[in-house]
Amino acid sequence: MHRLAVFAAAMAGLAACNLAGDAQRKAGVGAFSTVEKVFQHPRCANCHIEKDSPGAGWNHPQAVVRGPDGHGAAGLPCSTCHGETNSPASYGPDAPPGAPHWGLPPPQQKMAWSGLDQRALCEMIQDRSRNGNRDLAAIEQHVAEDKLVLWGWEPGGDREPVPVPHAEFVAKFCEWTAAGAPC
Secondary structure string (H, E, C) spanning the chain: CHHHHHHHHHHHHHHHHHHHHHHHHHHHHHHHHHHHHHHCCHHHHCCCCCCCCCCCCCCCHHHCCCCCCCCEECCEEHHHCCCCCCCHHHHCCCCCCCCCCCCCCCHHHCCCCCCCCHHHHHHHHHCCCCCCCCCHHHHHHHHHHCHHHHHCCCCCCCCCCCCCCHHHHHHHHHHHHHCCCCC
Residue 16 domain-assigned (yes or no): no
Residue 56 domain-assigned (yes or no): yes
Question: Whole-model pTM?
Answer: 0.80
How confident is the prediction for the chain on average, in pLDDT? Answer: 82
Residue 70 domain-assigned (yes or no): yes
Q: How confident is the model over 106-135, as a mean pLDDT? A: 88
Residue 62 domain-assigned (yes or no): yes
- For residue 104, the enclosing domain spans 31-178
Number of domains observed in the structure of the chain: 1
Residue 10 domain-assigned (yes or no): no
Q: How much of the chain exceeds pLDDT 70, in percent? A: 81
pLDDT tens column, 11-69: 444 343 344 588 999 999 999 999 999 999 988 888 887 777 666 555 677 778 888 88
Q: What is the pLDDT of residue 55?
A: 60
